Amino acid sequence: MKRPSSGKGAEKPSKQQVMEVDKVKSLFNKKIWDSQFQDQLKQEIHDAKPYTWGNIRDLVDDELLRNVRKEIETEIHFTKKETDIYKVNQSGDLANLSGLDWDDLSRLPNLCKLREILYSEVYRDVISYVTGAGKLSGAKMDMSINTYTKGCHLLTHDDVIGSRRVSFILYLPDPDKTWKEHYGGGLRLFPSIVANVPHSDHTAKLVPQFNQIAFFQVQPGYSFHDVEEVRVNKHRLSIQGWYHIPQEGEPGYIPGEEEQWVKTNTSTLAQLESNVLQDYEFPKDERDILPYHEVKHFEKILADHSDEKEKENTPVSAVADSNTLTDEELRYLSEYISEDYLTASGIKSLQSKFLEKSFLQIDSFLNEKKSKLLKQLIRHDELEEECPYEANKVEAPWKTAIPPHKWRYLYIDGKSPENFRTEQDILERLNNEELPNYTLLKQSLNKSKNNTEYELISLVEFLKSTIFKKYLALLTLLCPLSERMLIRRFRPGKDFTLATQINKNELLKNIDGFVDAVLEGTLCLTPSAGWESGEVGGYELYMDNQNDEEADKDIEDAAVYKTDDSGDSVLINKPPSWNSLNLVLRDESVLQFIKYVSWSAKSSRWDVSMQWDVKTVDDENDE
């Protein structure tokens, strides 16, 4: 996933006037030149948890920074950008400030001065010393200015891109006011279970103040952090930057070092795609294969060419092998589904819509009775029950989806309870795989305590039934081969999924008629209003990742989905709602994600997420 600043803008500036060392030093708080201060800071950073990081209060001359802030306020234009991983007001890249014409330079003299001192050798040496990160480049400057306003956030990432060696953030909120913790906008650091698998929750947090700098060594697989959502109508202005590996001609330059570093550190995304790391993802993005005796009925239903007489002589199994619904099947389906969608004409109309569009949106999918019951239960949970916000407080049957640089949400998967704290926990689970058994899970629940979960699981049992899958086959004319069901809850101020492509089922790919796509269903059961504008996130977005010019496999930038004027890349954008089912046949080129749910959302986003591998069945009558 693309990071907020790719470092592409980092460049070697042409000659610039260099400030005298004494002048540079005078523009910093003089304490940082004191060796005792440096040693103490070095020790603090060394001892810091969850990885080496530090911060300095009142870093630079107060007047200089106030002037910088004024310049930014009056001279820089911010544009709000939103992707799956962030929402932030970004300014242009400042790396080429010195390349600006004189007009522009005169507009931003203080900012230019600040950049010069931050990349001065004497200051770089301090940072290099206290972090122990090695020599840092002064030639390759890399800065950007962001302001986080209400609702802005940046989800967990490790900053590993190119030759970055140290990340820093200099904060510039209102200089005359204390930035309070409840404003949000904190820098939060995440410990890792193993390399590249951060814990779900942060263990360190910095509440930023004016003229405070935070910094850390970029450590592939470990330096995971995020920016907590800003909760109030205030500007958390910051200058974000990186120190890179020394470039040719600079002190500390080692030929080949940068190339080697970049080569070794594949991006986080590439690592996530590797097989080993997939083992550490929960829940698994995989579907369990259906028993053949079940599948063969769907095959017959879709290829329904048996004559009436043959049907009469065939005993009825869980489902009748005809492409219409029997009275018994209708009775079963109507336990949950609205009658409108069960009539022959209702099914026909959904079927033709699905064939035409590859997706279906079915509103008021559950019948009134079930809808009312579930709404009442979910609302009750939202309003009366404490919702756990830390992974270690999450209780069975709920689990927390990890790792947080891919997704975070609560889910029920129909398997034994688990709450991973260590690598060993995960390895034990991997050594003892099990299939979901919602029925068993339901029996283990205390109904009076987990009434909502009990009813949601009953719903999933229904959705897993053979009769429902027959109905699904009739709607889509596709034969289900495997399935996965999850009950999910995305908590405000906490949960999301990042954009991913489908994970194809390797075991099924050679089956006749196998469709190179996954059939996905999302039954959204979010009981609150206020989602329509998209401001509070939580929406499910499908976007096109096809690039006709170059078959670039890298998920370059989900950012385009909001800035693309044509709107072509967004295929479906569905805000959370009550009782609507979305069915999508998602092929490989389509990315999907659930946008981070804002802290100001009125409730969690609740849904049942379904996936099926599917194949086509030839209708011999048509041939």
Partner 1 sequence: MAKRTLGLGKQNKNQKKQKVSDKSTPAGSPTPDVSPANQIIVEVDEDKDPEDELVQLKGLWRTYFDSDRDDELVLNGIVHECDRLLRSSNEDASLKLNDEFHALYALALSELTIFKAGEEEEESAEPKNVETVTQFFDTALERCNLGLAAFADSSLLKLVAAKILLQRIPLEYISHLKVADKNADELKLDLKLKEAKSDFCICSNHLELTFEVLQLFDDLLDIVENFGHEDDIDEGLDSDAEEELEMVKLSHKHPLYKIQKHLNDNYAWLREQFQSLFKELKKPEGQDEEVISKTPELKLYHPVARRLGQLYLKAAEHPSQIFLTLAYDNEEGQKKIDNLTEKEAQKEALSLTSKAVEYLEEARVEHDPQTWADVAEAVIDLGNLYDAGSSDQEKCYKKAEKILTKANKATHGKYEDILNNLLDGE
Footprint on this chain of partner 1 (rule: CB under 8 A): 69, 73, 147, 173-174, 177, 180, 182, 233-235, 237, 352, 354-359, 379, 382-387, 389, 476-478, 491-493, 515-517, 527-528, 542, 544-546, 568, 571-572, 584-590, 599-600, 602, 616, 619, 622
| Phi-psi region at 491: left, alpha or beta (left = phi > 0; alpha = psi -120 to 50) | beta
Alpha carbons within 13 A on the beta-carbon side of 188 = 22
**Residue 116 C-beta: closest distance to partner 1, Å:** 24
Between helix 344-357 and helix 466-476 the angle, nearest 10°, is 60
Answer for the pair 585, 515: CB distance below 8 angstroms, yes or no.
yes
**Residue 544 C-beta: closest distance to partner 1, Å:** 6
* 334 phi and psi angles, rounded to 5 deg: -75, -10
* 591 phi and psi angles, rounded to 5 deg: -95, 150
**Residue 151 C-beta: closest distance to partner 1, Å:** 14
- Beta strands in 304-389, from DSSP E residues, in sequence order: 359-363
* 176 phi and psi angles, rounded to 5 deg: -100, 5
Answer for the pair 230, 186: CB distance below 8 angstroms, yes or no.
no
**Residue 235 C-beta: closest distance to partner 1, Å:** 5
Q: How many residues does the chain have?
A: 623
Contact residues for 318 (Cβ-Cβ < 8 A; gap 6+)? 294, 297, 465, 466, 467
DSSP state of 18: P
**Residue 319 C-beta: closest distance to partner 1, Å:** 21
**Residue 171 C-beta: closest distance to partner 1, Å:** 13
Task: Rank residues 26 and 616 by Cβ distance to partner 1 and give the closer one.
Answer: 616
Task: Rank residues 123 and 578 by Cβ distance to partner 1 and give the closer one.
Answer: 578
Task: Rank residues 290 and 302 by Cβ distance to partner 1 and give the closer one.
Answer: 302
Task: Rank residues 115 and 586 by Cβ distance to partner 1 and give the closer one.
Answer: 586
- Location of structure tokens 């770089």: 124
Task: Rank residues 122 and 347 by Cβ distance to partner 1 and give the closer one.
Answer: 347
List, in sequence order, every residue forming a beta bridge with 239; answer none if it has no partner. 145, 170
Task: Rank residues 182 and 309 by Cβ distance to partner 1 and give the closer one.
Answer: 182
**Residue 547 C-beta: closest distance to partner 1, Å:** 11
Other beta carbons within 10 angstroms of residue 57's beta carbon come to 11
- Location of structure tokens 């053949």: 292
Q: Helix, strand, or coil here: 533?
A: coil
**Residue 174 C-beta: closest distance to partner 1, Å:** 4
**Residue 253 C-beta: closest distance to partner 1, Å:** 40
Task: Rank residues 165 and 469 by Cβ distance to partner 1 and give the closer one.
Answer: 469
Task: Rank residues 360 and 457 by Cβ distance to partner 1 and give the closer one.
Answer: 360
Task: Rank residues 98 and 376 by Cβ distance to partner 1 and give the closer one.
Answer: 376
Burial class (CB in 10 A: 0-12, 13-18, 19+), 58: middle
**Residue 300 C-beta: closest distance to partner 1, Å:** 17
Task: Rank residues 405 and 491 by Cβ distance to partner 1 and give the closer one.
Answer: 491
Task: Rank residues 403 and 492 by Cβ distance to partner 1 and give the closer one.
Answer: 492
Q: Helix, strand, or coil here: 25?
A: helix
Handedness of CA 345, 351, 354, 359 (dihedral sign): positive
- Distance separating alpha carbons of residues 362 and 364, to the nearest angstrom: 7
**Residue 551 C-beta: closest distance to partner 1, Å:** 13
Answer for the pair 12, 247: CB distance below 8 angstroms, yes or no.
yes
